[in-house]
Amino acid sequence: MNKNDSERIESIFQSMNMISTDKPEDADVILMNSCSIRESAEDRIYSFSHKFAKLKEKKPNLIVAVTGCMPGRDKDGKLRKRLKAVDLFFPTKDVIMLPRWLSELNPELRPIDLEEDYLSVKPYTKTKFQAFVTLQTGCNQFCTYCVVPYARGMEINRPLKNILAEVKNLVDNGCLEITLLGQIVNHWLAKKDDKFSKENPYKQNDFAKLLWELNQIERLERIHWTAPHPIYMDEEVIDALTLPKQLNFIHLPVQSGNNKILKKMNRKHTHELYLEKIKKIREKKPDIAIGTDIIVGFCDETEEDFTDTISLYQECDFDISYTAKYSNRSGTLADKLFIDNVTQDEKKRRWFLLQQLMEDIVLRKNQTYLNKNVSVLVDTFKNGMCGGNSREMKRINFPGQPDLVGKIVNVAIIEAGHWILWGKMV
């Protein structure tokens, strides 16, 4: 999501006739798009702003700005106080004000008129064949560990016609693969006056209806979305996984396998409900690759509670997990209600156990691709090797040429590692 916001910011800068530089000392404006999901991400902003404060001593006209999740969640101004050298500190939704504020600070920077809604700003994408498309921002769920509802506010969904227009425009410019983004992407809701096609087979779930509409766009080859919530994985969304352009991969965050912890997290699903969703998904698409997010060491998580997460992991046979050691985020419900009482060493130990389990499972699963052909969207070329993702979001490397970048090719798998599969083009 932040990456897609950065693409919008880059497009605003370009409209102001500004060009990017890799060297901070050459810049007139430095804008940091912050993430608050973990403490370490915010620590990086403090450390960069300290560095840029020194730069400002040598170059007083330099404008340093921070947007993203930190300003959004800083209701009491404590974070802002620690960022002394920062001139502008504003939440993402106010990014449309950026040209005006910049030109007030430096009259040489030309202000431009923007739409009122930041999601209407067209993102600048470096690669033409892949793009993010934001469907919604904000979240109404209030999982107790999470800063998103504070940082990004309540859920706001984009109208169907804006989404379809954006995707059609991307496809006209050569886009083959879109990644639909939303905090709870499968909870995207249409507006009252949004009109779906009469032939659309889905009747209940707006997100499933949207997936069907996107599947009708000619020359669009692949559709991927992240991140859904298990409670909104209803029959229609699960059925939509079988639509032809849908990638053969789903990332479905679970966070914990223990019902007491899930309740404390306010996740609104249980161990059993999650397993039931995975079972239904595999009934529809037996070979689908599945990823998840897990937090270890949440408040009061005992060894026995953690065992439930291990057993759920084994039962789901995940292809990948993004596992995080719980870190308390100020302002969240968990910060107010619970004590972060699992030691760092214990969090680390649980993290390593899950990591080991993931590595064992993923290697076994990757070996099932040996001697099979997979379809790969090539996105890199380096030292004679092409790289890209398969429809299962497996990373594939194979010998090729630079002109394959941006094309979809078939690759026969000849070697399988944990994180990369090697093959040859067929």
Q: Which residues bind ligand SF4 (CB under 6 A)?
A: 139, 141-143, 146, 148-149, 183-184, 229
Comparing CB distances to ligand SF4, the nearer of 149 and 257 is 149
Comparing CB distances to ligand SF4, the nearer of 146 and 316 is 146
Report the nearest approach of ligand SF4 to the CB of residue 338 (Å).
16
Comparing CB distances to ligand SF4, the nearer of 70 and 139 is 139
Report the nearest approach of ligand SF4 to the CB of residue 323 (Å).
15
389 is written with which tokens? Answer: 């993702």
For 397, phi then psi, to 5°, come to -120, 140
In one letter, which amino acid is 313? Y
Q: How far apart are CA 6 and CA 136, in angstroms?
A: 16
Comparing CB distances to ligand SF4, the nearer of 254 and 377 is 254
Q: How far apart are CA 396 and CA 412, in angstroms?
A: 10
Report the nearest approach of ligand SF4 to the CB of residue 304 (Å).
24
Residues linked to residue 342 through DSSP beta bridges, in sequence order: none
List the beta strands (DSSP E) in 333-394: 373-382, 385-390
Report the nearest approach of ligand SF4 to the CB of residue 39 (Å).
16
For 205, phi then psi, to 5°, come to -100, 120
Report the nearest approach of ligand SF4 to the CB of residue 417 (Å).
31
Report the nearest approach of ligand SF4 to the CB of residue 139 (Å).
3
DSSP assignment, residue 54?
Answer: H
Report the nearest approach of ligand SF4 to the CB of residue 194 (Å).
23
Comparing CB distances to ligand SF4, the nearer of 74 and 392 is 74
Q: Give Cα separations from 221 to 211, 216, 228, 244 (angstroms).
A: 13, 10, 21, 9
Q: Are 133 and 181 a contacting pair, CB within 8 Å?
A: yes
Q: How many CA atoms lie within 13 A of 104 on its CB side?
A: 7
Comparing CB distances to ligand SF4, the nearer of 139 and 376 is 139
Comparing CB distances to ligand SF4, the nearer of 95 and 184 is 184
By CB atoms closer than 10 A (0-12, 13-18, 19+), residue 75 is exposed
C-alpha of 360 from chain center: 25
Comparing CB distances to ligand SF4, the nearer of 145 and 212 is 145
Chain position carrying tokens 């001593």? 57
Which of 301, 220, 288 minimizes the C-alpha distance to 259? 301
> How many CB atoms within 10 Å of residue 114?
19
Report the nearest approach of ligand SF4 to the CB of residue 255 (Å).
7
The H or E element containing residue 354 is helix 344-367
Q: How far apart are CA 204 and CA 209, in angstroms?
A: 8
Comparing CB distances to ligand SF4, the nearer of 146 and 290 is 146
Report the nearest approach of ligand SF4 to the CB of residue 149 (Å).
5
Q: How far apart are CA 354 and CA 14, in angstroms?
A: 44
